[in-house]
């Protein structure tokens, strides 16, 4: 990984696409709305997270008087359990995600990284706790949720990591993912989902039992999805190395039908189980799915 290459996600032109967005959850958990109300246990047996400037209406019992004595300004101590939302982002790092057609701007993985970085930025800007994990045949990396600015840097460095894993499936990783979800909250999964849908669906539905509000992004390379390749193209399975010479024009109709059926199965099943599902291609401006989920998940009180 190039030194400090993660900073591209902090570029003003990148941030401008989502800086005015707020992401919350519409699931009512543990008797209060996470994302709107703070924890009833705040300030007790919780890990100190950061300071924030005092605003009228904030509880005065959390004012840090030592800082006031030095600066004559009021700051409040915040604890991990005070954050509005506990969220986790999981990104598929199997080799199929690295696919990029010759004319495509991004690989599926690069597109997924941009989504993950933007979502992490939104959460941190809201002072929510957000964690991050990479998945393949197992859960490869996991960073527990925190809400500090340092956490954003840590997440972006890991999101930017270019390593992929030789694996044909992510389904088995969700058992480990489930064990990491010790608190109710929001889970974002970013993958191409080109694997056995029944096993994937079964394992993701188990996450609902961990009191998770789930958002799923299924990503496809636009050329991969529409099979817009020249005649007599050679296709290489990124996970097995197997090569096959085909004429896309002869396969396009049946191929597209199979692909659309897969998308439909995911969408219908997840929607029935109150899981938000969004299919995008690498030509979709990445702020569009972000704005859509923000709109859908807005809570008016």
Task: Provide the residue range defining the domain that includes 76.
Answer: 46-81
Q: Check whether residue 55 and residue 100 sit in a common domain.
A: no
Task: Give the pTM.
Answer: 0.76
Quote the pLDDT of residue 237: 55
Q: What is the pLDDT of residues 30-71, one digit of tens each?
A: 333 334 334 333 333 345 556 767 777 666 777 778 887 878
Stretch 220-224: mean pLDDT, rounded?
90
Stretch 110-114: mean pLDDT, rounded?
94
The answer on pLDDT for 282 being more than 80 is: yes
Q: What is the pLDDT of residues 123-140, one digit of tens each?
A: 888 888 999 999 999 999
Give the whole-number percent of the chain exceeding pLDDT 70: 76
* Reported confidence tier of residue 142, pLDDT bands at 50, 70, 90: very high
For 79, 144, 165, 170, the CA distances from 106, given in Å and listed in that order, are 38, 28, 19, 21
Quote the pLDDT of residue 49: 57
> 204 is written with which tokens?
């993701």
Q: What is the pLDDT of residues 114-125, one digit of tens each?
A: 999 999 998 888
User: Sign of dihedral through CA atoms 65, 70, 76, 79?
Assistant: negative
For 167, 169, 194, 293, the CA distances from 172, given in Å and listed in that order, are 11, 7, 14, 27
Q: Check whether residue 139 and residue 68 sit in a common domain.
A: no
- Label the pairing between strands 48-53 and 75-79: antiparallel
Q: Check whether residue 98 and residue 64 sit in a common domain.
A: no
Q: Check whether residue 185 and residue 134 sit in a common domain.
A: yes
The answer on pLDDT for 180 being more than 90 is: yes
Q: Check whether residue 59 and residue 185 sit in a common domain.
A: no
E strands, the chain, in order:
28-29, 32-33, 48-53, 75-79, 86-92, 129-135, 139-146, 185-191, 212-220, 233-236, 243-246, 276-281
Q: Check whether residue 76 and residue 87 sit in a common domain.
A: no
Domain count of the fold of the chain? 2
Q: Check whether residue 60 and residue 139 sit in a common domain.
A: no
d(CA 143, CA 133) in angstroms, rounded, equals 6
* Reported confidence tier of residue 179, pLDDT bands at 50, 70, 90: very high
Stretch 237-266: mean pLDDT, rounded?
74
Stretch 183-198: mean pLDDT, rounded?
94
């Amino acid at each position: 990984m190039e030194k400090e290459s993660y900073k591209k996600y902090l570029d003003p032109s990148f941030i401008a696409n989502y800086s005015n967005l707020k992401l919350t959850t519409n699931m009512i958990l543990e008797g209060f709305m996470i994302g709107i109300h703070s924890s009833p246990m705040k300030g007790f047996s919780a890990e100190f997270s950061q300071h924030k400037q005092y605003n009228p209406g904030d509880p005065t019992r959390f004012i840090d008087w030592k800082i006031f004595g030095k600066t004559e300004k009021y700051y409040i101590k915040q604890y991990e359990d005070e954050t509005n939302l506990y969220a986790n982002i999981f990104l598929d790092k199997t080799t199929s995600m690295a696919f990029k057609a010759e004319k495509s701007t991004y690989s599926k993985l690069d597109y997924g990284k941009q989504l993950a970085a933007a979502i992490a930025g939104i959460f941190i800007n809201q002072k929510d706790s957000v964690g991050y994990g990479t998945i393949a045949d197992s859960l490869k990396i996991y960073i527990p949720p925190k809400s500090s600015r340092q956490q954003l840097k840590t997440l972006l460095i890991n999101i930017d990591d270019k390593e992929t894993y030789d694996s044909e499936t992510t389904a088995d990783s969700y058992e480990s993912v489930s064990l990491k979800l010790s608190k109710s909250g929001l889970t974002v999964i970013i993958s191409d989902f080109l694997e056995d849908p029944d096993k994937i669906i079964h394992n993701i539905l188990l996450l609902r039992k961990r009191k998770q509000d789930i958002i799923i992004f299924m990503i496809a390379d636009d050329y991969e999805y529409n099979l817009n390749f020249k005649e007599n193209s050679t296709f290489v399975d990124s996970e097995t190395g197997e090569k096959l010479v085909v004429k896309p024009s002869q396969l396009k109709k049946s191929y597209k039908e199979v692909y659309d059926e897969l998308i439909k199965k995911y969408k219908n099943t997840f929607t029935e189980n109150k899981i938000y599902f969004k299919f995008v291609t690498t030509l979709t401006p990445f702020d569009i799915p972000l704005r859509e989920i923000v709109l859908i998940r807005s809570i008016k009180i």
